[in-house]
Structure formats: C-alpha cells, structure tokens
A and B are shown apart, each in its own frame.
Chain A
C-alpha cells in the first residue's frame, strides 16, 4: 500500500482524484444515501405525502412472504451456481493444466463465454430449452421429462442456473488454471518421489495450495450470483413462473421500477448494499493479504 517515495503537494493529488470522486459522489454515494433515506419513509398512493416511518419498511419487508421467498430463491440459486460453476471449472482446469497437446486450443475456446453478455447467454439457453422448438426440450421429452419452464418453476430455476454457470465458467477456469500453474513443479515432483500417485497428489498437495484461489472465487461467484445474474433473469424468465426465479436483485428492480413501491424498494436496496459491502470487505481482505506476499 505504501511507497517510500512520494511527491509533495495536496492540491495536485486531489485534482487527480476529482473526476473519480465526483462521479462516485453523484452517481454512487448520493443514490445510496437516497436509498437509505427513502427506506425510512413511506409515500401515500398518490405520491403527495411522505411520512417518516422508521424501520417499518424493513419490518414489512421481513414479514412479507414474497420477500422471504426471494431470499430463499436467491440462496438456492447462488449455492447452485457457485457449487456447479466452481466444480466444473476446477475439473476443466486440472485437466488443462500441465502439458497435453492442444491445451492452449482448449483454453482459447473455454474462455469464450466470458465475452458473451449474460443477457445473451440467457437467450441462447432460453432458445435451447424452448418448450416448442428447443433442442434440449425435445431431447428431454424423448426421455420422458415434460419440459416447460414457462409453467414449471423448478425447471425455470434449472434453466437460469445453467445459463449463469455457462457464462461464469471461463472466469473460474482461468483463475483455477492460473492458481494451478503457480504451484511449483518441484513440489509435485517431490510428492511423486515420495510415492504419491496423481490422485493422492491432487488431494494432498494441489488442492490445499489452491484453496486461496478457491476461496477468492467463492466470494466472486457468490457476488456474481447475487447481482450480475440480473440480466439473465430479466432477459428470460422475468422472475417467473410465479416467483420461482425472483432473486433479490430482481425483486428490487421489479418492486421499485415496475411496482413503484419506493419505500419498500429502498429498504431492499439497503439490505442488498449491506450484503455487497460485507462481500467486498471479505474480498478486499483477501486481496490485501495476497499482495503482501
């Protein structure tokens, strides 16, 4: 964090920071403050009068079965996306690590989904699972599964999880690969000389050394599942059917923008911001620790 050498002056560094700080203040801090402020107010239906209601919005929120449902949906969704995404990526990275012919070719292709917008990823899978013409829907029907995510909430959830995992796999893969390649070859060789076979080596040497990377990816993936997947849901299921795929961040949007419940939406924003801040601090701690070594 600290340089031994510094330049003198106060005005110059502040001027250099000004653009960033100004944008942050106007488009981040101010709205966040507004959300905080509105979360303790309630507007009458005609928007004529606002009254201070204290924590009533939060009380209402946490006694609202729909909101609690969104919490549960988010939990299921995040756990599924994180667990599946990480295990698949780890498997692929372990396979692509070390020299096998064509490793760089595989890597090039596996990196591709990162470039695809989540919304587009959602639409691609939406099309594959389309109940009337989707290839996967047809294939599933052939083995006796009646696929219709427009009606079946569980199936809609599976669909968004698949799209979200697909989109995130490149990112996880690249980080696992970088982590694997940072493990000194001599360690693996030492273990081999000690008589450990490939699988034993993986579990006793490689995996523990990879755990910092894995932890970092865990946090990143939870953040991703909580917030960045909004696009996928918005572009495909719109939170439905019923509320089966309404995750928290989608609910903030739909209650606020569509339902125009200012106080309720603001309270939801505040809850989400608290979650983000916790995740960010955890992540930042990790980064700082890594930086020192």
Chain B
C-alpha cells in the first residue's frame, strides 16, 4: 500500500483471520469427530476438542472398513483413488501434450474443426450426459474396470489449452533453429518442447491429480464391484445408510483420509499449482 495506516492493517488481519477460520473450521470439526468414540457423537453437540480414539478409529477403517459400506477397507479405497488419479493425470498430460503440439505446430485440413471439437465437447460435464455415456461404457464392457474409470476422463480441453498457450509463448526461432539443425517434428518435440514444458507439466499434473482424486459421480456409476470403490464415493455410501444414524466418527475419519492426500499435494506444490491454475485460464 502507498500509505501505512495501522487501522487498515489490523482490519486486513482481522478479515483474513476470519476467512481462515471459516475455511478451516469444518475440517477441524471433522478431525475432532474422527478421534472420538461413536458414543460421543450420538447426542448433544459434537465435541470441539480431540478425543483419544484417533489410532483406533483410523486403524480399524484402513484395515476393514465399515460394515455399513459393505466392509470395503478404506485402505483399498485409497489405493483405488490413487490409481485412478494417477492414471487420469498421466493420461491427460500425455494426450494433451501431443494434441496441442499437432494443433500449434502443423497446418492441416480441419485443424480448426478438431480444435473446436475438443474444446466444445469436452466442456460437457459428465453429469449432463450421464445416461448415454453410461450406455457406451456398458456396451464397450468397460464397467467395473480401471479402463472404464479412467479412459473416458483422459481427454482434456483444459490441459490441451494450457499446453497450447505455452507452446505459443515459445519463440518461433527455436523451432526454426531446430529445423536448421536438422531436427524433424518429433525430434523437436522430444528434445526441445518436452524439456521446456517441464514446469507446466508439473503444474497441470497437480491440477489433474486433484481432478482425478475428486471424481465422484463417474466412479459411482461405472463401478458396482466393491473392490473398485474410491474414497470419495465411499463416503457417499457411508453417509446414506438406510434407517440409522451414520457412524459419524468413522465417516469423518474417512472424510479426513479422503481430503488429506489432495490437501498435502496442494500445500506442498502450492507454487506450481497456483501457476498452473491461473495460467490455464488466463
């Protein structure tokens, strides 16, 4: 700021502090609930301070899961989520890197058509066309498989767009120099473009990992086999139990486990993540 007004500075801290409290409070309460026995969450207001069942609740969940949710161990759900997120992120990056390369560095018939197909159709969220998409998956026999979970989500307008933007910032002379040096298109892609894209690849990886991890409706409809349950959809099965109160301490422990890996990723890779996010859309 141009001038220094102590009152303004205090106001800033106050507002930001309040914002942080609002952001953190639900997570804190969930964490606290996950450290209590079930009895503490049967009646009265939920506790505000941690209890003593942290290890017990979590180890039980990871090993055997909840009986209400079919007893799928949460450890397996985490593994499934991890596999799914990893496959989706890697696949999206691979597919987008080469598509963007083709769109930016070549002139061919229907280039703009391809461009618009990618950008328009990929914007159609799965929720909108859920039924026909489900039918396609079923016809292709991809229900209850990692292929069905990941391949349809591997096409990506966002990542393609990011790489396209990035390629456009690379000076033309670099490609010309490579041509003078005798490099063909694929050699240029491998030797020059890929190494230069490293930061962008990392940034988009963070975003797409989160995207994959947080998938919900898609795994919910293409898998019926318990062994493919991912953690985010697992929560749904735990909350929506018929006739009884959910076992809140275990639900909250699962929620903690579901949000921990992406939160760690976002905190550790924050700089990359912010760069990737803001630059994609800029």
A and B bind: yes
Hey, which bits of chain A sit against chain B, CB under 8 A? 1, 3-7, 9-10, 12-14, 16-17, 19-21, 23-24, 26-32, 34-35, 38, 88, 91-92, 95-96, 98-100, 102, 106, 108-121, 123-128, 130, 132-135, 138, 166, 169-171, 174-175, 178, 188-189, 192, 198, 216, 220, 227-228, 230-231, 234-236, 238, 249, 252-253, 256-257, 262, 265-266, 269, 272-273, 276-277, 279-280, 284, 287, 290-291
Instruction: Mark contacts of B112-140 with chain A using CB atoms, 8 A cut-off: 1 yes-contact digit, 0 otherwise.
Output: 00100111111111011111111111001
Contact (Cβ within 8 A) B22 A28: no
The 4 closest A-B pairs by CB, nearest first: A31-B132, A117-B214, A34-B132, A115-B262
Residues of B with C-beta under 8 A to A175: 278, 281
CB distance from B10 to the nearest CB of A (A): 10
Contact (Cβ within 8 A) B232 A26: no
Contact (Cβ within 8 A) B281 A6: no
Determine if B274 is an interface residue (Cβ-Cβ < 8 Å). Answer: yes
**Number of residues from B at the complex interface, CB < 8 A:** 116
A100 in contact with B131 given A127-B252, A277-B120 (CB within 8 Å):
no
Contact (Cβ within 8 A) A119 B152: no
Residues of B with C-beta under 8 A to A35: 129, 131-132
Query: From A188, which residue of chain B is reached at the shortest CB distance?
Result: B2
Residues of A with C-beta under 8 A to B124: 28, 32, 273, 276
Complexed CA–CA distance, A120 and B27 (Å):
10
Contact (Cβ within 8 A) B118 A24: yes
CB distance from A115 to the nearest CB of B (A): 4
Contact (Cβ within 8 A) A133 B41: yes
Main secondary structure of the interface of A (DSSP, over half): helix
Contact (Cβ within 8 A) B108 A10: yes
The residue that B155 contacts in the complex, of A23, A216, A266, with Cβ under 8 A, is A23
Complexed CA–CA distance, A148 and B152 (Å):
39
Determine if B79 is an interface residue (Cβ-Cβ < 8 Å). Answer: no
Most-contacted residue by chain B among A3, A4, A9, A91 (CB, 10 A): A3
Most-contacted residue by chain A among B5, B24, B99 (CB, 10 A): B99
Contact (Cβ within 8 A) B12 A262: no
Residues of A with C-beta under 8 A to B192: none
Residues of A with C-beta under 8 A to B168: 1, 3, 291
Complexed CA–CA distance, A284 and B112 (Å):
14
Contact (Cβ within 8 A) B45 A112: no
Contact (Cβ within 8 A) A234 B216: yes
Determine if B49 is an interface residue (Cβ-Cβ < 8 Å). Answer: no
Most-contacted residue by chain A among B107, B156, B216 (CB, 10 A): B216
Residues of A with C-beta under 8 A to B26: 121, 124-125, 127-128, 166
| 13 further contact pairs, Cβ within 8 A, besides A10-B108, A138-B44 | A7-B106, A12-B185, A19-B95, A23-B95, A24-B121, A95-B11, A95-B19, A110-B20, A123-B251, A130-B46, A132-B245, A198-B3, A236-B239
Complexed CA–CA distance, A253 and B217 (Å):
10
The residue that A138 contacts in the complex, of B45, B134, B248, with Cβ under 8 A, is B45
CB distance from B106 to the nearest CB of A (A): 4
Contact (Cβ within 8 A) B136 A269: no
